[in-house]
Amino acid sequence: MGGNDADALAPPHAGPHARLRGDYSGIGPDFVVDQRWERYSAAEHALYRRLYERQSRLVPRCACEEFNRSLARLDAAHEIPRFDRVSRALRAATGWEIVAVPGLVPDRVFFEHLANRRFPVTVWLRTPGEFDYIVEPDVFHDFFGHVPLLFDPVFADYLQAYGAGGLKAERLDALALLARLYWYTVEFGLVRGAAGSGGGLRAYGAGILSSGGELRYAIDDPAPRRVRFDLERIMRTEYRIDRYQDTYFVIESFDELFASTAPDFAPIYERVRALPALAADAAAAGDVAVQRER
Ligand code: PHE
Ligand code: CO
């Protein structure tokens, strides 16, 4: 896939509306670039800080414990983080590192990075006009949304397994089905807090955690459907990239997520392919509703 073809570069973890924004000139096969941290302007650090402040007011109540714990130890509130420092801490914690990329990368490249415990983080920051909403990942989404959970050993293993699973799904021509799993877990997953720890629903999906509006919506609003995590149900469910989600899938723990995605997906893809897809807002037979406990 060429670095200049916007369609070829619209992977399932981003969605078809993604445009190229970064600079792909002279890019190598792994799409990794230098972060060139010195290039960020004071205005960009200030905008990052404002984004961080807004989300950090919400996460104590709305994000899962694992996220909050890691965010605190990241010390990333004041300026756009230096990726090399973060990688040092991550390597020590879970053996992951982050690599800088100019923006979206081809599926194969993305999966190769995950399968090798490297998370690609976009280098550029959104404009002030995109404070509330951005259609493609920028450094704030990628960093704030995704990086804290890479410190959790179980979630970190899940993401690596997802990368390996992506390479396999590509061979099985099942990327569209696997992409739905990424969407409804890594990007928009909810977890039910442990009893006794305050309970209630919490977000672990990065698309929720980095969004000012959707974080509250996903946790508090009566409108969306919230159902128990079910792998095949998720693989059948279409998703919308242009609005808050109609349906959220709720796990009990990262252990559950890891265990239920461990089996060989080849026969599962076959089964799911034989069934009709479900619209993003549709109910399905067998759905177990999850109540908001607040
Ligand atoms: N078990 C999956 C397979 O056989 C791999 C996978 C693991 C995919 C975890 C996603 C998440 O393809
Ligand atoms: Co993301």
CA triplet 209, 211, 217: central angle to 5 degrees? 90
Q: Which atom of ligand 1 is closest in space to residue 158's alpha carbon? A: 9
Confidence of residue 84 (pLDDT cuts 50, 70, 90): very high
Give the list of residues 6+ apart from residue 43 with CB closer than 8 angstroms, or none. Answer: none
Closest ligand by atom to 110 CA: 2
What are the tens digits of pLDDT across the range 115-156? 999 999 999 999 999 999 888 899 999 999 999 999 999 999
If you average pLDDT over every residue of the chain, what do you get? 91
Q: How far is CA 268 from the centre of its chain?
A: 23
Confidence of residue 32 (pLDDT cuts 50, 70, 90): very high
Domains and CATH numbers, the chain: 37-273 (1.10.800.10)
Cβ contact 142:47 at 8 Å: no
The model scores a pTM over 0.75 = yes
Tokens of 74: 């990241």
- Catalytic residue numbers read 141, 146, 187, 210
Confidence of residue 21 (pLDDT cuts 50, 70, 90): confident
For the segment 201-230, the average pLDDT, to the nearest whole number, is 97
Can you state the angle between helices 153-171 and 83-94, rounded to 10 degrees?
A: 100
Among 175, 4, 17, CA closest to 102: 4
What are the tens digits of pLDDT across the range 254-277? 999 999 999 999 999 999 999 999
Closest ligand by atom to 231 CA: 1
Whether residue 13 has pLDDT greater than 70: no
For the segment 19-33, the average pLDDT, to the nearest whole number, is 83
172-193 b/e with 16+ CB inside 10 Å = b? eebbebbbbbbbbbbbbbbbbb
Cβ contact 31:102 at 8 Å: yes
For the segment 205-219, the average pLDDT, to the nearest whole number, is 96
CB 165 near ligand 1, within 6 Å: yes
Closest ligand by atom to 163 CA: 1
Centroid of ligand 1 to alpha carbon of 20 (angstroms): 29
Distance CA 7, CA 15 (A): 10
What are the tens digits of pLDDT across the range 178-192? 999 999 999 999 999
CB 262 near ligand 1, within 6 Å: yes
Cβ contact 260:157 at 8 Å: no
Q: Which atom of ligand 1 is closest in space to residue 172's alpha carbon? A: 12
CB 69 near ligand 1, within 6 Å: no
CB 263 near ligand 1, within 6 Å: yes
Phi-psi region of 240 (alpha: psi -120 to 50; beta: other; left: phi over 0): beta
CB 172 near ligand 1, within 6 Å: no
